Copies of this chain bind each other. A is one copy, B any other.
Amino acid sequence: MERFSSISMAVVRRLPKYHRYLGEIGKRGINRVSSQELSKITGFTASQIRQDLNCFGGFGQQGYGYNVDDLYKEIGNILGLNKIYKTVVVGAGNLGQAIVNYSFFEKSGFVTKGIFDTNPKIIGLSIKEIKVYDVEKLEDFVRENAIDIGIICTPRGQCQKVAEILSNGGIKAIWNFAPSDIKVPDEVLVENVHLSESLFTLSYLLNEKEELEKSRKF
């Protein structure tokens, strides 16, 4: 998709992190934080944090820092977490069920309206009181219920077809867990989750550490 905003994706991707850390320190009863303190918690530099937040108008006060609750709410609003999103989960396997059962998403405003699968043994059942429908009904369901986000939890081979059905139904955004990139019309937003990238980063670090330890022995 094409974006017309001047905010870079690097900044956008840091916002959920700020939001999470602010939520955590808020819960610990801390109500005021400086960009230096935020830097220690988040690992980003204080100047990067100030720069990022300035993209959206600042929020801080010189000599005072940031009010934790206010900043948490402001970033939540910027992330659109003050709204409700209607979602469908496609693929009722382990991963799909894990997503449906993860109550934090629902608490954050992402409400599963339907689950879709091709397996006749699962169709008609309910997960957390949400019905599992035949994927044949997906396009109409998306259109009739004005679903915002389609969550693809199918195997790799089915994800492109599902993405097309969702797009034909007028979906606005797709959260794709299938380990393959999908092609959709420009107006559909896509966020891919590539779990292997995270795992391979870990194996890189593991190897780097072992190589460094080996080289120090000589």
| Interface band, chain A | 35 or more
Is A5 located at the chain interface by the 8 A CB criterion?
A: yes
Question: Is A196 a contact partner of B13 (Cβ separation < 8 A)?
Answer: no
Pick the residue among B81, B101, B193 that contacts A195 (CB under 8 A): B193
Closest partner residue, chain B, to A2 (CB atom): B209
Question: Is B98 a contact partner of A196 (Cβ separation < 8 A)?
Answer: no
Q: In residues 162-214 of chain A, which contact B (Cβ within 8 Å)?
A: 172-173, 175, 179, 181, 189, 191, 193-209, 212
Residues of B within 8 A of A40 (CB): none
Closest partner residue, chain B, to A216 (CB atom): B4
Is A78 located at the chain interface by the 8 A CB criterion?
A: yes
Question: Is A205 a contact partner of B12 (Cβ separation < 8 A)?
Answer: yes
Is A217 located at the chain interface by the 8 A CB criterion?
A: no
Question: Is B212 a contact partner of A20 (Cβ separation < 8 A)?
Answer: no
Q: How far is the CA of A101 from the CA of B20 in the complex (A)?
A: 30
Among the 9-residue stretches A29-37, A45-53, A59-67, A104-112, the one with 4 or more Cβ atoms under 8 Å from chain B is A104-112
Q: A80-B207, A206-B173 are in contact. Are A200 and B15 (CB under 8 A)?
A: yes
Chain A interface main SS type: helix
Question: Is A79 a contact partner of B204 (Cβ separation < 8 A)?
Answer: yes
Residues of B within 8 A of A197 (CB): 13, 16-17, 20
Question: Is A200 a contact partner of B94 (Cβ separation < 8 A)?
Answer: no
Is A69 located at the chain interface by the 8 A CB criterion?
A: no
Question: Is B202 a contact partner of A149 (Cβ separation < 8 A)?
Answer: yes
14 contacts between A and B (CB under 8 A): A5-B208, A12-B201, A16-B198, A17-B194, A19-B200, A20-B197, A80-B200, A85-B203, A95-B95, A108-B200, A110-B203, A173-B202, A175-B199, A175-B202
